[in-house]
Amino acid sequence: MCLIVFAWRPGHAQPLIVAANRDEFYARPSLPLAQWPEAPNVYAGRDLEAGGTWLGLGANGRFAALTNIRDPHQPPSRKSRGELVAGFLLGDRSIDDYLSDVVRRSIEYAGFNLLMGNANELWHFNARESEAVMLPPGVYGLSNAGLDTPWPKLLKARAALEAVLEDPQPQALLALLGDSQTAPFVDLPDTGVGLATETLLSSVFIASQSYGTRASTALIVQADGTRHMVERSFGPYGGHLGEVEIRL
């Protein structure tokens, strides 16, 4: 995942609202959102190269998602960050216990943000800050830096989420994720990838020949624990490949 905006509202009729884009090279093989055959309580896409996932749902209200931290100078890692999401969804360990293990092993992975929770708690861990934080109620955004780092795409998507929270619907969440307008040069962050790449990556929805938004996901969690998730898949230049809808 390269952009996640979400509203965490404990006690509300819809305590968790999520809109997320997964950006990745189109050549990296993956499967769309589905029930995992070997784990019937897990619903997620799957990275076929390393076996993990970027966002998904598990038993007992479990939710997890991940974004990479953009740093062209960080050393490569032999471990896939997607296994961190999959491990939480597949297991039954408490959030505290699982996060303690993630904090201890975070150096084994390239930089990442991990978002994970259940019906009662939502936590964020940034591998560069090395501290897990239980989030208070609020509207948040994650891209490829820290929580709520004010990159143009994050600010735009978070504001768009706030605008639909009175009556959030999957199609409205997917619509805000489809904004392909790039940011002005003056507003671009400098993450060391060069101006052309910064511009390409500055839009909420990214489309090019080799890299872009592979999946857009809308998730609405109700107070009674029911969950509604819709995922759209895309190919090169943003070509629409399909849509999956799941109600649990």
Mean of per-residue pLDDT scores for the chain? 95
Classify the phi-psi angles of 238: left when phi > 0, otherwise alpha if psi is within -120 to 50, otherwise beta: left
104-132 pLDDT, tens digit each: 998 899 999 999 999 999 999 999 887 89
83-100 pLDDT, tens digit each: 999 999 999 999 999 999
201-232 pLDDT, tens digit each: 999 999 999 999 999 999 999 999 999 999 99
| Fold category of 3-247 in CATH | Penicillin V Acylase; Chain A (3.60.60)
35-54 pLDDT, tens digit each: 999 999 999 999 999 999 99
> Do the beta carbons of residue 34 and residue 66 sit within 8 Å?
no
pTM (two decimals) = 0.95
